[in-house]
Amino acid sequence: MSFRYALIPGRHQALTTFQASYLSDLRSREGDLELVWAVTSGNHGGTQRNPISGERRLGMIEAFVRDTDLPSHVYLITNMRPKDNFAHFVIEDIRTQSRGVVELTPENCIVVCSTPSVIAMYQALGFTIAPAELDESSGEFHAIRPWDVVEAIIAAGEQWRDDPIVQNELHPACLSYYERYGLSDLVREIFDDPLVGSEDGDITDTRDYATYRQAFEDGAERKVADFVDFIKPGRILDVGCATGQTLKVLSQRPELFESDLYGIEVARPLYQICEQRKQAGEFGDANVYFYQRNIMQQKLFKLSSLDTIITMALTHEVESYLGRSELEKFVRHMYDMLEPGGVYINYDVVGPNGKDDEVYVRFTEDDGKNPADISNELTGHELSVWLSGLSTLARFRRFAQDFRAVEGDTMTYRTETIDGDEYLVMRRADLCDFLAKKDYVDSWPSEMHERFCFFEHSDWVALLEAVGFELDSASRAVQNPWLIENRFAPAAVVYTKQSDGSLRAAPQPVTNTLLVAQKPEDTPR
């Protein structure tokens, strides 16, 4: 059988000398083959699975085929999640992108692939396979694969050019491309980044982004109104900008029209929303720029170069996933990036005053089911549905089981009977952690890692002052009335025990902290 096309599906983070030789030999055997490169995960970048953006990978392939004189078509294949019919999707996407000119069939196309799971998908459609680096008889690889070269670059560090695998296996055109665009630095930064561990570049792979986006955007305008008067115009950075909603609100402020507005977001799905909104003109004529990176790993902003830095609903994640020392480093980095007189604004969840005090709680029991056994191994949508059907009391019992269990510092509680009534006794902070997140059933596995109430407002003030910030009098603990009315009050009646043993109704707690901090004007640059 004679083929017209050779399809090469893959992420294509690097290209090797073996590929050049193998494809050249394949064309010699099959005649004038046209190579069709399918750059899968073409809409991904900035993650450990796909550190290099699709556009850069496309450019690298174009440089490779020019150097090797291999006639080629290159297509970016966008995808969100693995799917069983992905091979069909790739073929149809290429046909659509080429306006029907490149239509790949088992009769006219051979597939060049060494990944067994991908091979199986194309074989199921009837395609012949050219196994490239894979020895089909042994199931072993007889040649260096492109990702092996990427791993060698990561392992070698700054001396990556001297690594034997890089020298011998990375194609010269690819090496030149890596050097021209600093791709080795990019790849190593991403793999050194403690926050980028999942496919989407986020600190967790269990977050429901639709729910997260809605919650964030709903509250953005109200929160911005609390601190907008303290923003110093100029170079304004929103760290962990999510969908860019804060910057959208700021872009509509006349006094900020001449400012440069920067958004940094590590999670790919959220970063892509930012770029889509920008392309759709949602930011008007404002100077808005988005960047996918962890702020601690980036080189975009020099020290003492920013006028205002904003973090919203971010710092609790740094504490929850990376620990106290990393939170302190983060705050210090905010200080260092600000010019003298610059302003740092942090709006986040916070623990209640007296977070370590004991409270006596009676949870609502008649708002759902109360199964005897709250342990199960449900996941995904099934878990969400089951949690939604539980009473507040039952959901608390499941929360006490799951919360911070992976980290080994889950909450504890006990029961105590007073005047014939049974109460659950726990730290005030643990109660507020539960009340604040008990309704996030769509992202329950993710939320179980995140501690909201590790600091009181006064703890935040102490940390910022220790770094060198001067706190504005506008800094304060905030109570979200909607949250109290709709989430806290219906769920539980809370008491504190008095010295005489009696119980007194506890006031509703604060829910957030607003911190407006200035780097002193006289700070040396």
Q: Which amino acid is at 356?
A: D
By percentage, how much of the chain surpasses pLDDT 70? 94
- Going from the C-alpha of 315 to that of each of 40, 128, 465, 513, the distances in angstroms are 34, 52, 16, 11
Query: Per-residue confidence at 216, pLDDT binned at 50, 70, 90?
Result: low
The pLDDT score that the predictor gives to residue 297 is: 66
Q: CA 433, 439, 443, 449: dihedral to nearest 10 degrees?
A: 10
Mapping DSSP to helix (H, G, I), strand (E, B) and coil, where does residue 432 land?
helix
Residue bearing the bigger pLDDT, 403 or 209: 403
Q: Are residues 305 and 345 in the same domain?
A: yes
- Secondary structure of residue 161 in the 3-state scheme: helix
- In this structure, is residue 198 part of a structural domain? no
Per-residue pLDDT at 325 exceeds 70: yes
pLDDT of residue 62: 96
Question: pLDDT value at position 222?
Answer: 86
Same domain? 345 vs 378: no
What are the angstrom distances between the C-alpha of 48 and each of 4, 38, 359, 402?
35, 20, 44, 28
Q: What is the pLDDT of residue 436?
A: 96
Which residue in this structure is represented by tokens 């999942």? Answer: 198
Tens digit of each residue's pLDDT (9 = 90 or more) over 342-395: 999 999 999 999 999 999 999 999 999 999 999 999 999 999 999 999 999 999
For residues 421 and 419, give the distance between their C-alpha atoms in angstroms, rounded to a whole number.
6
DSSP 441-492: GGGHHHHTT--S-S--HHHHHHHHHHHT-EE-TT-EEE--HHHIIIIITTTE
Bridge partners of 346, per DSSP, are 311, 515
pLDDT of residue 207: 47
* Residue-wise DSSP of 42-90: TT--SSSS--S-HHHHHHHHHHHHHHHT--EEEEE---SS--TTHHHHH
My answer on whether 169 and 53 are in the same domain is: yes
Q: In the structure encoding, which two tokens stand for residue 57, read together?
A: 């990978």
Question: Looking at the structure, do residues 272 and 235 belong to the same domain, yes or no?
Answer: yes
CA-wise closest residue to 350 among 196, 248, 478:
478
Domain membership flag for residue 345: yes
Identify whether residues 231 and 313 lie together within a single domain.
Answer: yes
Q: Does 183 share its domain with 221?
A: no
Q: Are residues 45 and 173 both part of a single domain?
A: yes
In the chain, how many domains are there? 3
Task: Please return the burial class of 409, using the count of CB atoms within 10 Å of its CB with bins 0-12, 13-18 and 19+.
Answer: exposed
Q: What is the pLDDT of residue 87?
A: 93
Could you tell me the end-to-end alpha-carbon distance of the chain, in angstroms, rounded to an integer? 71
The residue ranking higher by pLDDT, 299 or 212, is: 299
* 23 close to 6: Cβ distance less than 8 angstroms: yes
Q: Do 325 and 381 belong together in one domain?
A: no
Higher-pLDDT residue of 215, 57: 57
Closest C-alpha among 258, 472, 433, 505 to residue 344: 472
Reported as a pLDDT band with limits 50, 70 and 90, residue 79 is confident
Q: Which of 29-33, 213-217, 417-421 has the highest mean pLDDT?
A: 417-421
**Could you give the angle at which helices 324-337 and 457-467 cross, rounded to 10 degrees?**
50
Asked which of 349, 381, 398 is the last residue of a domain, the reply is 349
Determine the pLDDT at residue 43: 85
* Judgement on whether residues 58 and 133 belong to the same structural domain of the protein: yes
Question: Do 49 and 186 sit in the same domain of this protein?
Answer: yes
Mean pLDDT of the chain: 91
What are the pLDDT digits (tens) for 159-189?
999 999 999 999 999 999 999 999 999 898 8
Q: Mark whether 134 and 251 lie in a shared domain.
A: no
Q: Is residue 201 part of a domain?
A: no
- Condensed to tens digits (0 to 9), the pLDDT of residues 86-136 reads 999 999 999 999 999 999 999 999 999 999 999 999 999 999 999 999 998
In angstroms, rounded to a whole number, what is the distance separating the alpha carbons of residues 251 and 257?
A: 7
307 and 362 belong to one structural domain: no
The per-residue pLDDT for 298 is 62
Check residue 293 and give its pLDDT. Answer: 79
399 and 432 in contact (C-beta within 8 Å)?
Answer: no
Q: Which of 197-206, 266-275, 390-399 has the lowest mean pLDDT?
A: 197-206
For residue 423, give its domain range.
358-451+500-505
Give the pairing type, strands 306-312 and 338-349: parallel
Residue 212, pLDDT score: 47
Query: What average pLDDT score do residues 430-444 get?
Result: 96
